[in-house]
Amino acid sequence: MEKGFLNRWRELGHDFLDGATKPSLPALLGTLGVASTLFLLFVTLLTPDIMATKGYGYFFDSPIDDYAYLTSETLRISKTAPPHPSIILMGASNIQEAVYAKYLEKQLQEKLKQPITVYKLTAGGLFLREQICLLDKIRNRFQGIVVLQVTPTRRLAFDRGHLIENITGHSRLAMYCPKFDEEMRLAGVEPVKWKGNYFLDHYKFFMARLPALLKNIVTGPVQWSPQNAEDWRPPTKKQWERSLKTLVQWQETYHENRDANFGVYKRLVQLLRENGIEIAFLEGIRNPAAESIIFAKSSVVKIYNEYQSDVTKFAQNMKVPYWNLAKFANFKPEDFIDHIHLKRREARHRYTEILAIRIADMLSKQLKESP
């Protein structure tokens, strides 16, 4: 009796394995059906809302996938920005590595004795024009201050070929931003013609991350890593020399791009002010060891002083504070991993504390003025 029962289960197991492993027409049709269903599910169910809520973290390729983080985080802020004043730190890897957002939040809450949320919208190599896209998304719900990194080194922000190759040619950010499209037109680049379907319009963003999505469904959503420079390898002599070269390269096209550069900043300030959001400019930081080499040349000093004077005047005209805080942080060469990225925790804490004083001052004035 028992033997017959076992044999029956064994036979059923064989049948199951047969079905699971042998090719057959039903299996082929089923396979095509599953693949088509998945495609239809992506086309119909994937929306910016899903990216901001239930899908948050599932499309991150890894903890250093800055652009997937920026997409989800920006969409999240645009849906769920808190009713109290908040801060957005925006910029490239320079500021990303220099400021601890959570520590800044704690500092501001202690100073102002009220809830403050700090968001970090930073990514390595983030274009100035992409920042307009991010701000365009959040400006309707967000209230508070946007601290925007300014730097003279954004030479490529105005290179048409580079814009096409790196922005419109790829879906770095999976978002619709009308103001960004306007900016691309102003830069002489034809913006992407949207079809109106989120998945199809940003298929490159999603297709590149499909294996990661499968893995994340099993292992859970990925947490973004806001600081990574401690884990980087120090630059070789050749890499160090190359990075110093990039620090002075912007000079070649500074005059050519100056008006366009400040034009973008001006439109950005106006865009935010239309929605009652204030802005502060934060100058990027540099390794003193790199500065001592690049500023040894009088031609570099001359053009850098010109930039400083231009940006200061511009900020005054726009009534925007301009903070160049590196001198107060007393950075040493050993605080940096390379020419512009901080690696030491103490240095980051120091810089974050100095920044917190400025932001707290600005925010407290704003709070007093608001009814």
Partner 1 sequence: MKKIARLLGITLQALVLGILLFIAIGQLVALETDARIFLYQAF
Q: Least distance (Å) from partner 1 to the CB of residue 32?
A: 7
Binding mask 348-367 for partner 1 (x = CB under 8 A): --------------------
| Candidate ranges 66-74, 144-152, 298-306, 363-371; the one touching partner 1 (CB under 8 A) | 66-74
Instruction: Provide, rounded to whole angstroms, the least separation between the CB of residue 209 and partner 1.
Output: 7
Q: Which of 56, 67, 100, 307 binds partner 1 (CB under 8 A)?
A: 67
**Smallest separation, CB 76 to partner 1 (Å):** 20
By DSSP bridging, strand 117-122 and strand 86-91 are parallel
- Give the shortest CB-255-to-partner 1 separation in angstroms: 28
Question: Residue 341, interface with partner 1 (CB under 8 A)?
Answer: yes
The distance of closest approach from Cβ of residue 13 to partner 1 in the complex, given in angstroms and rounded to an integer, is 8
Q: Say how far apart CA 337 and CA 96 lie, in whole Å.
A: 14
In angstroms, rounded to a whole number, what is the distance separating the alpha carbons of residues 203 and 213?
Answer: 14
Other beta carbons less than 10 A from residue 146's beta carbon: 25
Return the residue of 48, 52, 65, 73 that touches partner 1, per CB under 8 A: 65
Q: Does 136 bind partner 1 (CB under 8 A)?
A: no
Other C-beta atoms lying within 10 Å of the C-beta of residue 39? 11
Stretch that binds partner 1, among 191-199, 232-240, 270-278, 280-288 (CB under 8 A): 232-240
Q: Is 61 in the site for partner 1 (CB under 8 A)?
A: yes
Shortest distance (Å) from residue 226 CB to partner 1: 12
Interface mask toward partner 1 for 233-262; x: CB under 8 A: --x---x--xx-------------------
**What is the residue-wise DSSP string for 128-165?**
HHHHHHHHHHHTTT--EEEEEEE-TT-GGGG-HHHHII
Structure tokens at 69: 């983080």
Listed in sequence order, the residues at least 6 apart from 320 whose beta carbon sits closer than 8 Å to its beta carbon are 269, 279, 280, 281
The verdict on 120 binding partner 1 (CB under 8 A) reads no
Q: How far is the CB of 93 from partner 1 (least distance, A)?
A: 6
Q: Say how far residue 60 (Cα) sits from the centre of its chain.
A: 13
Q: Is 208 in the site for partner 1 (CB under 8 A)?
A: yes
Cα–chain-centroid distance for residue 301? 31
Q: Give the integer Cα–Cα distance in Å for 357 and 361.
A: 6
Between CA 188 and CA 84 the distance in angstroms is 39
Contacts of 119 (CB under 8 A, 6+ apart): 73, 77, 86, 87, 88, 89, 101
Q: Is 13 in the site for partner 1 (CB under 8 A)?
A: yes
232 binds partner 1 (CB under 8 A): yes
Q: Which two tokens stand for residue 278?
A: 């204030």
Residue 207 binds partner 1, judged by CB under 8 A: yes
Pairing of strands 322-323, 278-283: parallel
How far apart are the C-alpha atoms of 322 and 154, rounded to whole Å? 17
Return the residues of window 19-48 that contact partner 1 according to CB under 8 A.
Answer: 19-21, 24, 26-27, 29-35, 37-39
Strand partners, 148: 90, 281
Report the residue from 6, 7, 10, 12 that binds partner 1 according to the rule CB under 8 A.
12
Q: How far is the CB of 321 from partner 1 (least distance, A)?
A: 28
Which parts of this chain interact with partner 1 (CB under 8 A)? Answer: 11-13, 15-21, 24, 26-27, 29-35, 37-39, 61-62, 64-68, 93, 123-125, 166, 169-172, 203-211, 214, 229, 232, 235, 239, 242-243, 337-338, 341
